[in-house]
Amino acid sequence: MITDNKIQTIPTSESGTTDTTTFLEQKLEQEMFDNKGCDFHMHSYLSDGVNSIEHLIDKARKNGLKKIAITDHDMTYSYELAKEILAKNEITDLIVIPGVEISTDDYHILGLNIDPHNESLEEVLHINREFCIARSEIMCKNLKNAGYDISFDKVHNLHPNTKRLGKFHIADYLAKFETGRIKKENGNDISIQNVIKSYLKKGKVGYVNSMNIFSNQAIPAIHNAGGIAVLAHPSLDVKEMSEIDSLVKIGLDGIEMQPNYSAKDYLPFYNYAKAKGLVITHGSDFHRDDMNKPILSYNTNCRR
């Protein structure tokens, strides 16, 4: 964390005026360095990542990380598997804490340092997984009715390890098996992100309304499991700071900073967390090697 003796005064610009923005960016970047060695947001192939837990552990160690949380969507299975891998290979230079990313009505909430076997938490996660699977089945039917050669079973066969088949898996299937049609309709960009945007977002042929629990269910469930509730990637989901006020009222403990993104994207959330005394965590939201969200390294800092 930043201490008063690290940055004592706000610098001035050449004109002699106070350069508050530069100062705050420097503070945020110092915060990133002072919390280096941790990545508390990544996904395995059990949810919507593509890599095994072994791969994540190996990558984290190669990057010099000391603590990680594998926060698969709406499930905690990865923690016990990670513990087994650490024990079997006598790995002592990396700590894995139990974590989860819960999809809610409007936000994604990280649950960190939870009891992964807590029954009340698992009840909530089970509901969300069932919602996600039901939604995905309808998405596949919508796409099939529009003439695409796709079915829920075909998508699941492509991603047999997932326990929560969702839009990422559907988009990946389309990109691999409907390549020609997608290029003809949308150009040569067949990245997962572009396929989701073109076919699975609101107003598109495969879209189905989100079916998730609410934040006022997710946050208490995390607390009941002994964990802290952290708002994931706020720059993607939050439009007004009053939204976070509402989350704090129902028990939000912290806000995530993502060093892979520009410091300017996170300055408002950094300042809010500091003013409210909230926990600040750091994470990459890693899903796969070919996305622009690499697992953090020991010295990862904010981009300018």
- Give bridge partners of residue 111 from the DSSP assignment: 100, 229
Q: Is 268 helix (H, G, I), strand (E, B) or coil?
A: helix
pLDDT at 291: 79
If residue 297 lies in a helix (H) or strand (E), which one and from where to where? Answer: none
Helix (H) or strand (E) holding 255: strand 254-257
Per-residue pLDDT at 292? 78
Q: pLDDT value at position 27?
A: 58
Residue with token string 């990637």: 233
For helices 263-276 and 241-249, give the axis angle rounded to 10 degrees. Answer: 40
- Residue 135 burial (CB count, 10 A): 19
User: d(Cα 161, Cα 2) in Å, to the nearest integer?
Assistant: 41
Q: What are the strands, taking DSSP E only, across 2-120?
A: 38-39, 67-70, 95-103, 108-112
The reported pLDDT for the residue numbered 3 is 30
Q: Is 146 left (phi over 0), alpha (psi -120 to 50) or beta?
A: alpha
Is the C-alpha dihedral spanning 210, 214, 219, 222 positive or negative? negative
- Count, residues in the chain: 304
Q: What is the pLDDT of residue 35?
A: 62
Show the low-confidence residues of the chain (pLDDT under 50). Answer: 1-18, 20, 32-33, 302-304
DSSP H helix total and E strand total for the chain: 12, 7
Tell me how many degrees the CA angle 22-30-261 measures, rounded to the nearest 5. Answer: 75
Query: How many beta carbons lie within 10 A of that of residue 67, not counting itself?
Result: 14
pLDDT at 298: 82
pTM of the entire predicted model: 0.86
Q: Residue 290's pLDDT is what? A: 78
Q: What is the pLDDT of residue 302?
A: 47
The two three-digit tokens of residue 183, written as one number = 């290029």
